Structure 1
Amino acid sequence: MPKKDRSEAPTREVMKPEEGEVICVVKKMLGAEHIIVACVDGKQRVARIPGRMRKKVWIKEGDVVLTAPWDFQSDKCDIIHKYMHDEIRKLTEENIVSRDIIDQLRG
């Protein structure tokens, strides 16, 4: 049986923010699936981790996430995706978000 060539890692498409979505950095864990995030648009929101992500995607302070702010309460949002280190690097290379802004929100 021939061996598979594993030299090329599969490349996943990076989730880019669409209309009504914002990139944020996790500031504080509140508990009960709620966290405080600092968003690129300058606002601080209370984010909710949806059930499909609970116990599958572990989120901690300093992580970069993609959120969807609520229409009826602009100070709250839902988390859509957690970015990995290589995805953050691709976002900065494609000039979607500046590395300085992410470092400023983390610090």
Structure 2
Amino acid sequence: MPKKDRTDQAPSKDVPKPEEGEVICVVKKMLGAEHIIIACLDGKERTARIPGRMRKKTWIKEGDVVLAAPWDFQPTKADIVYRYMNDEIRKLIEEKVISRDVIDQLRG
């Protein structure tokens, strides 16, 4: 039986970019009960919650870069939409969506 052709690589998935009403943030502190404090690119600190669809599948820790959607009726709170992996952060920097300096500054 011939070996499988390994030249076909998995197609690279698109990195989600912030749309209207979303902002890139860095996790500052874990509060427990699926709540975290995030520092956002718009200069605000928010309390965010990890939705149920992400709780067991995506592990979030301090220093992670996440995409958050602030609440319309309470702008000091937000929902986590996506957690960026290291290679995805690199792609965002290459595409000039964010800069390395800003991420380092938010991480402290």
Relative to the length of structure 1, the TM-score reads: 0.95
**Structure 2 unmatched runs, 5+:** none
Residue 86 (structure 2) aligns with: 85
How far did residue 7 of structure 1 move? 6.4
Root-mean-square deviation (Å): 1.2
How far did residue 9 of structure 1 move? 4.3
Query: Which AA in structure 2 matches 1:49?
Result: I
Amino-acid identity (%): 75
Secondary structure of 1:52's match? helix
Please list the CA deviations of residues 45-95 of structure 1 after superposition, one character each: whole Å capped at 9, or x if unmatched: 000000000011000000000000000000000000000000000000001
Query: Which AA in structure 1 matches 2:27?
Result: V
* 1:59-70 matched pairs, under 5 angstroms: 59-70=60-71
Query: Which AA in structure 1 matches 2:90?
Result: R
Please list the CA deviations of residues 9-55 of structure 1 after superposition, one character each: whole Å capped at 9, or x if unmatched: 43110000000000000000000010000000000000000000001
Query: Which AA in structure 2 matches 1:33?
Result: E
Query: Which AA in structure 1 matches 2:33?
Result: A
Residue 17 (structure 1) aligns with: 18
**Structure 1 unmatched runs, 5+:** none
Separation in 2, partners of 1:53, 1:92: 25
* 1:1-107 matched pairs, under 5 angstroms: 1-2=1-2, 3-6=4-7, 8-107=9-108
How far did residue 4 of structure 1 move? 2.8
Separation in 2, partners of 1:68, 1:33: 16
Query: Which AA in structure 2 matches 1:69?
Result: P
Separation in 2, partners of 1:74, 1:87: 27
Relative to the length of structure 2, the TM-score reads: 0.94
Count of aligned positions: 107
